[in-house]
Chains A and B, each alone.
Chain A
């Protein structure tokens, strides 16, 4: 639709050009009219020879003045073209004058004829020049023949006028008419030629524009104001997925914009009309139903009164770019998250080692000062215990580092039920001893894509936790259940044990060295590592718990990667 509009817009210029050419031709016509007047004055002038010299002189002078004015007017027009035109007029005039002043053709007339032909060539082009010269020549010959035969032509001038006058006027009028016709034709042809050439150029540049816009997915749009009439080019129609046949209105555009972005776009348009820059990203719903992101840039054109008349601009589909940007941002987030994790880890490492090293420093100091053998033995015992604890800490840290290192380990398929049973075998001693009831609700063929050693560790940790934190007030029960859910296999390990306060400790459960119970063997590291294992496999782990009722850990194994 906008194609038509653009054509009108640009062809307007072409039409203007053509009009200029034609107006130019009109000016030429006026010159010839002046010429005609001058030429007509000559016979009048001739007549006045009989009535008195003074008037004849005055009219002669007047005619020369008119001629000069005409010449100046012509000179105002541009360049050689105008000068040659002026000379053509001058020579034609003088030629006519000559014919009257010197009824028989003489040398000067001949020279002027040559000049005339020359300028006709310059002015009208080759073809017209030849026609002009030929006509001029033929009439000169005819004139000479008529004179030699003494024939009068009664049609143009009264019979009693001398033949020379009749012929001259007839001849001049004819020449002028021919020249005018030729000139008009040539001007029209030229304008038409220009127009065709320009349309050709326009087509080429239009094609180029269309192609480059298609490559960049850039469309044009324009709104006429205040009517709100809307124009979209092919590319814009494509971007929005609109139909080419259906006319588009402003309402349609808004209805295609994502509901959450509509208000923003409305505000941006309002701001643009008030003079601000229009540059906005928004989501659209493509006819196919998919969501796309576009960037629109626009400008408002105002009339002399400052009121907006046109609102136009481009729209570009930037979905892919946006997606890339988002992916980049996500990556950036992950990186900065990992960075923070690493920093925290460094603090944790520092903390854990320091807690023991501080004890060692102090104990060694006491040991040095101690004079009592018994006390010394006690200090040594403590030192030994601290040394073991430090060793444990380092082992734990090593476990954690291994998780991070092995994150890129290849995944393998495992039958979940088999793995659960294998783990329960390891814990069999305690389960039997403590008479813990375990029931498993996992499909025999349910597979998970995991790093096998991680799965082992996760299962062992969750199941041993369920045993470790059982309640002694009731018969311990562990329920293992698995299901598929939105791209995950979810394994839930539910116990009826001690549980913990979710409000207080829910966030800390997976933290390092967080223990909530008085168990001596609670290291506060198991769930931290379990979470790391799950994270490393692009899964997630959730927990629900209630004090003295039980805890459920749900591990989400990612089925995709």
Chain B
């Protein structure tokens, strides 16, 4: 398995983000993970990275329902940014609504749709597709 240097976890629920971070960090191939409480914070971080030509995260785990900037708004903002690299986004949500699943497919960045809770099996699928 390829090494994953950096994973962004975008999740507003503190317990959920703790759970996800713990599972991710304990995975052998993951080097580092960062948690953002909503889309706006993650987007700001990314914009700084793009501006300074720093290394982008290898993948993003994204929740949908969040205050300030939700998952969809984040995706729209991300896809509107002119950038060289494409960051694979995996949606990790409590929703099982087909409307959400369909909507997720409409974004090129979205590589997968997973429902909570996160597990090692799911993480394996994400890390080694």
Which residues from chain A sit less than 8 Å from chain B, CB to CB? 344, 347, 350-352, 354-355, 358-359, 361-363, 366, 382, 385-386, 504, 513-518, 522, 524
Q: A351-B93, A366-B19 are in contact. List 17 more A-B contacts (CB 8 A).
A: A347-B97, A347-B99, A354-B116, A355-B13, A355-B94, A359-B117, A361-B117, A362-B117, A363-B15, A363-B19, A382-B15, A385-B15, A517-B67, A517-B68, A518-B67, A522-B67, A524-B67
Quick one: closest B residue to A343, CB to CB? B97
B4 within 8 A of A: no
User: Do residues B65 and A513 form an inter-chain contact, with CB atoms below 8 A?
Assistant: yes
Q: Write out the residue numbers on chain B whose beta carbons fall within 8 Å of the beta carbon of A359.
A: 13, 15-16, 19, 116-117
Q: Write out the residue numbers on chain B whose beta carbons fall within 8 Å of the beta carbon of A515.
A: 67
Q: Write out the residue numbers on chain B whose beta carbons fall within 8 Å of the beta carbon of A524.
A: 67
B22 within 8 A of A: yes
Quick one: closest A residue to B63, CB to CB? A355
Q: Which of B65, B67, B94 contacts A358 (CB 8 A)?
A: B94
Q: Write out the residue numbers on chain B whose beta carbons fall within 8 Å of the beta carbon of A362.
A: 19, 23, 117-118
**Pairs A-B, 3 closest by C-beta atoms:** A358-B117, A358-B116, A355-B94
Q: Which of A347, A382, A522 contacts B18 (CB 8 A)?
A: A382
User: Do residues A516 and B67 form an inter-chain contact, with CB atoms below 8 A?
Assistant: yes
Quick one: closest B residue to A385, CB to CB? B15
B115 within 8 A of A: yes
Quick one: closest A residue to B65, CB to CB? A513
Q: Write out the residue numbers on chain A whose beta carbons fall within 8 Å of the beta carbon of B73.
A: 504
27 contacts between A and B (CB under 8 A): A344-B97, A347-B99, A350-B96, A352-B94, A354-B94, A354-B116, A355-B13, A355-B16, A358-B16, A358-B117, A359-B15, A359-B116, A359-B117, A362-B19, A362-B23, A363-B15, A363-B19, A382-B15, A385-B15, A513-B65, A514-B67, A516-B68, A517-B68, A518-B67, A518-B68, A522-B67, A524-B67
User: Do residues B94 and A351 form an inter-chain contact, with CB atoms below 8 A?
Assistant: yes
CA distance A306 to B19 in the complex (A): 84
B56 within 8 A of A: no
Q: Write out the residue numbers on chain B whose beta carbons fall within 8 Å of the beta carbon of A358.
A: 16, 19, 94, 115-118
B33 within 8 A of A: no
Quick one: closest A residue to B92, CB to CB? A358
Quick one: closest A residue to B100, CB to CB? A347
CA distance A518 to B96 in the complex (A): 26
Quick one: closest B residue to A344, CB to CB? B97
Q: Write out the residue numbers on chain B whose beta carbons fall within 8 Å of the beta carbon of A516.
A: 67-68
Q: Write out the residue numbers on chain A whose beta carbons fall within 8 Å of the beta carbon of B116.
A: 354-355, 358-359
Quote the shortest CB–CB distance from B102 to chain A (angstroms): 13
Interface-central residue, B15, B67, B95, B97, by most chain A CB under 10 Å: B15
Q: Which of B13, B16, B22, B67 contacts A366 (CB 8 A)?
A: B22
Interfacial residues of chain B within 8-31, with CB under 8 A of chain A in the complex: 13, 15-16, 18-19, 22-23
Quote the shortest CB–CB distance from A363 to chain B (angstroms): 7
Q: Write out the residue numbers on chain B whose beta carbons fall within 8 Å of the beta carbon of A355.
A: 13, 16, 94, 116
Quick one: closest A residue to B93, CB to CB? A351
CA distance A358 to B67 in the complex (A): 20
CA distance A243 to B23 in the complex (A): 86
In the complex with contacts A385-B15, A516-B67, A354-B23 CB distance below 8 A: no
Q: Write out the residue numbers on chain A whose beta carbons fall within 8 Å of the beta carbon of B18.
A: 382
CA distance A513 to B73 in the complex (A): 15
CA distance A517 to B99 in the complex (A): 26
Q: Which of A351, A385, A517, A522 contacts B65 (CB 8 A)?
A: A351
